[in-house]
A and B are shown apart, each in its own frame.
Chain A
């Protein structure tokens, strides 16, 4: 296993090489370095995965050296490979490789080709660090690192006005979440006296679940705040739709398949601790469920193909948290796994469509592409089957498992989940119908449309196979399977401790699955039927329910609401300190931050820093007086 460290380091080397010499050497070299490093890393990851599978207890601890050591704190530097991190590692390097290949075709005209691939490699490095790290510190390094890469890649099209701002928004929103992680980390350190994952989990096994709101509940809630930032849940979800300003393959890799799932990964990694805090789990479940529904409804009437997929991602991430919250850690992670394949496929397919239509992203200007781009069409069709949960495509099994557990937690959560799933079917079929069926609505673009090159279609096909088949890894007991992935992940999720298992009763499970599937199909057919011939139905709908449509299209006016309810009064009535505090809150929501913050900071500084010595002396004098008062009080 001495080669294991090479798995993250190879992409890092790729990053360094491309960054330093990429501009001067040709694109061929850049491609070779970037794709080559990820390929090698993938091959090694497979080897390591097999080694882990053969190892005792499905677990390899690779300690390299002591990173920090002082007094109470010892932080080793090492990797842990177990079923959980091993699977993630394969997903990252595998899908990462496919997306690298796809990018070769998608980005071939770009001037910043080398920069793009350098950042993408850096992302793979950080993501692997996050997943493999055996201590919370190392994981945090990866956690912040992927945020940084995301920022760099979202802002990639810096010629546009909005891309750099979107990058900044993403980064800052994530920083708010990261604050949660940092506090959670400190709290866990305070509670367990160690920051290694295995150390925390071993001790957590000896504790009884907390009733009500205890210290561990606080710690896990803080970690969950971090997870909502990274995984775009309510209320920190606003950055993800904006993040679509980045290149489409980036959206596929970072903002669909891997990075945004790291919040779920973090919770799975610490599953035994979260098991101890039922309060937190309930919060997780409800936040997840509500996000799933909320985002799915916004997705109904978006016109930008990538925005639809972005809200779909937020919604699917909500499903994953719903699963986690219903103590179905394996189920949540199963959905991470299947979602990685079909959502990456959907994004890459959308990218292929955008590519074919020369950067047209508006669904209303597409149409009739079925025959022009057959590979894209068929592969996206498979992905659509998967995401709507049609048996036996992968999404069916994972989503069904989550909905079943949600039902056990609270029937209301199940209803929310099913409604969200119906919306999902509808907007997906709306998207498919508007893109591939009907008459072309922009003839100029249509006439020049063409199928994408091999380097883009091959990854699509590979992902399609994954989207179709990987659900069989987790066929639930109700359908004659034995939820293999659950068994597989069990040592990692329970860390050798007892795990609250739900008995599967075939009866309700099948009935519930049938209900949700049938409803999903009905809504999907409805969407397809209404949109396959054009926009007539939507126009009718707008005429009939203008208000509903406007509210959904404008994302429930959340941006505007924040502007109106928080920022407006703030500008008028706020005194400096109050503003200061609130601006930090708004930071969390990420609206109009630059202007507000700059203004407040300006007021604040101008108050003191007048440039006059006498005022400076006076301020110092005030400081002394304040401290003296504190002393005498």
Chain B
């Protein structure tokens, strides 16, 4: 027994190098709650944002320095895929923290737990990116989700916030039940032998005939659970409501960071654990992807609320990204790239929405009327982001789409790519609708003597950086693709790592 304990200790110490960023996040998050909350009194609570930002930047650096390899009895793995999506998640959190200042300063009470929750949920995402076993996978997914439930309902005195939180929570609990049951069926199909992705990947294709139903149903429920997390149709119902009701920085956060992590898990599960039974999930996943593209884009057309529009647009973008999931290992880099471009343009757009919300506008699309006169730069940047979301070249959004679609064509998903093309045509319609409001409609008269509010530092920086990236990003396609190349080699590596 002593030998076992010391062996365990040794293994933990050895493997902790892989999860240093998470340990750092969870540790500092806890310290922030106590005794950190004594550090700044209420009047100084705005100092938490830079502190959290600094923590996130350190974590980003740590991720880059994390050694590659598998640890914790084959439960957690660090490779190109892990790191690539971890970086996106961290950037998403960083953006959310930077944009949260004004919202939180307006509250009376201490707000340190808001930042701590972001850190905890981020640590869940980082685990999720590297989870290669259903145990660690489910554990990280829940860690991530539970923190976000609270964040969505964070403004507990607003009815909408609480409603959004409750809806998200109830549906989340439902989907998590489906997911876990699916995992248990897969586990049963292997004869109760393993929950490890790679081992499952070998066992599942050769299960006995009587168990094929188990496999099929299991695969399906896992698909449903993951589809819920990334808000793919028809498991997307929570997302427009949650996006609209949540505090806007959290909306921006939800649209990017957890999505990146869940996509990483999506790729990992379907390309490592279930590639052998691809005939069971390829078709359903294709339908889910197509439905997401169609419904997301069509539903966005009639939206009056900017946040709901971005929610539906996000559903549509997930549809495109699922194409990448279907494309095998090479699809992983295309998905990553698409997610990276989506993150940048999405945060740019949200930064503008959040800034306008501070002055009581920005919630509705009408509020963007005549923005070019009030905020010429913001209007221009918003146009750039929206056009990029619509996939107009030469903005990065086009680059991401082009690369992904080209990949899907070479893999033979012609029908889906055609749908993707068609729906992206439709998408131009509602994005341009907003541009029309900003550029071609007169502004509502400002109150006498009222000046449009100056943009804060965080907003200016985020909008400027995002705008430059969106405008020039395509020029750096080659180095980006070379870097992303490490993500695609995931499958082979994981098979080598089999014990």
- Whether B393 and A68, one on each chain, are in contact in the complex, defined by CB atoms closer than 8 angstroms, is no
Stretch of B96-104, B193-201, B359-367, B403-411 at the chain-chain interface: B403-411
What 17 new A-B contacts, CB under 8 Å, besides A172-B425, A587-B426, A587-B429?
A68-B477, A69-B481, A164-B436, A167-B440, A168-B432, A172-B429, A175-B425, A182-B421, A186-B406, A580-B294, A601-B300, A601-B302, A615-B237, A620-B171, A627-B220, A628-B217, A632-B216
Residues from chain B with Cβ under 8 Å of A62 in the complex: none
Residues of A in contact with B, size category:
35 or more
Q: What separation, in Å, do the CA atoms of A133 and B197 have in the docked complex?
A: 46
- Whether A183 and B241, one on each chain, are in contact in the complex, defined by CB atoms closer than 8 angstroms, is no
A605 contacts B by Cβ under 8 Å: yes
A304 contacts B by Cβ under 8 Å: no
B188 contacts A by Cβ under 8 Å: no
B178 contacts A by Cβ under 8 Å: yes
Tell me whether A598 and B224 are in contact in the complex, defined as CB-CB below 8 angstroms, given that A68-B481, A69-B481 are known contacts.
no
* Nearest-Cβ distance from residue B235 to partner chain A, whole angstroms: 5
Tell me whether A604 and B485 are in contact in the complex, defined as CB-CB below 8 angstroms, given that A67-B477, A68-B477, A584-B422 are known contacts.
no
Tell me whether A627 and B425 are in contact in the complex, defined as CB-CB below 8 angstroms, given that A167-B440, A619-B234, A622-B234 are known contacts.
no
A148 contacts B by Cβ under 8 Å: yes
Could you tell me the dominant secondary structure of chain B's interface residues? Answer: helix
0/1 string, B206-226, CB within 8 A of A gives 1:
000000000011001101100
Tell me whether A144 and B393 are in contact in the complex, defined as CB-CB below 8 angstroms, given that A66-B478, A158-B439 are known contacts.
yes
* Nearest-Cβ distance from residue A568 to partner chain B, whole angstroms: 21
- Whether A623 and B481, one on each chain, are in contact in the complex, defined by CB atoms closer than 8 angstroms, is no
A71 contacts B by Cβ under 8 Å: yes
0/1 string, A604-633, CB within 8 A of B gives 1:
110011010101110110111011101110
Tell me whether A145 and B393 are in contact in the complex, defined as CB-CB below 8 angstroms, given that A70-B485, A164-B436 are known contacts.
yes
From 555 to 612 in chain A, residues with beta carbon under 8 angstroms from any chain B beta carbon are 580, 584, 587, 593, 597-602, 604-605, 608-609, 611
Residues of B in contact with A, size category:
35 or more
* Nearest-Cβ distance from residue A226 to partner chain B, whole angstroms: 12
Q: What separation, in Å, do the CA atoms of A71 and B488 have in the docked complex?
A: 11
Residue of B nearest to A72 (CB): B410
- Whether B425 and A69, one on each chain, are in contact in the complex, defined by CB atoms closer than 8 angstroms, is no
A189 contacts B by Cβ under 8 Å: yes
B283 contacts A by Cβ under 8 Å: yes
A239 contacts B by Cβ under 8 Å: no
* Nearest-Cβ distance from residue A6 to partner chain B, whole angstroms: 16
Q: What separation, in Å, do the CA atoms of A71 and B399 have in the docked complex?
A: 16
Residue of B nearest to A22 (CB): B376
Residues from chain A with Cβ under 8 Å of B174 in the complex: 617, 620
A458 contacts B by Cβ under 8 Å: no
A97 contacts B by Cβ under 8 Å: no
- Whether B403 and A71, one on each chain, are in contact in the complex, defined by CB atoms closer than 8 angstroms, is no
Tell me whether A155 and B440 are in contact in the complex, defined as CB-CB below 8 angstroms, given that A604-B298, A616-B171, A620-B224 are known contacts.
yes
- Whether A598 and B302, one on each chain, are in contact in the complex, defined by CB atoms closer than 8 angstroms, is yes
From 156 to 183 in chain A, residues with beta carbon under 8 angstroms from any chain B beta carbon are 158-159, 163-164, 167-168, 171-172, 175-176, 178-179, 182-183
Residue of A nearest to B234 (CB): A623
* Nearest-Cβ distance from residue A516 to partner chain B, whole angstroms: 40
Among A75, A141, A617, which residue has the most Cβ atoms of chain B within 10 A? A141
Could you tell me the dominant secondary structure of chain A's interface residues? Answer: helix
From 468 to 499 in chain B, residues with beta carbon under 8 angstroms from any chain A beta carbon are 474-475, 477-478, 481-482, 485
* Nearest-Cβ distance from residue A305 to partner chain B, whole angstroms: 24
Residues from chain B with Cβ under 8 Å of A599 in the complex: 302
Residues from chain B with Cβ under 8 Å of A145 in the complex: 392-394
A446 contacts B by Cβ under 8 Å: no
B72 contacts A by Cβ under 8 Å: no
B114 contacts A by Cβ under 8 Å: no
Tell me whether A609 and B240 are in contact in the complex, defined as CB-CB below 8 angstroms, given that A175-B425, A601-B299 are known contacts.
yes
Q: What separation, in Å, do the CA atoms of A111 and B287 have in the docked complex?
A: 51
17 contacts between A and B (CB under 8 A): A67-B478, A145-B392, A164-B436, A167-B440, A183-B421, A190-B409, A601-B302, A604-B298, A605-B302, A611-B241, A620-B175, A620-B224, A623-B235, A624-B178, A624-B221, A627-B220, A628-B217
Q: What separation, in Å, do the CA atoms of A536 and B1 have in the docked complex?
A: 113
- Whether B394 and A141, one on each chain, are in contact in the complex, defined by CB atoms closer than 8 angstroms, is yes
Residue of A nearest to B170 (CB): A613
Residues from chain A with Cβ under 8 Å of B402 in the complex: 137
- Whether A628 and B240, one on each chain, are in contact in the complex, defined by CB atoms closer than 8 angstroms, is no
Residues from chain A with Cβ under 8 Å of B283 in the complex: 630
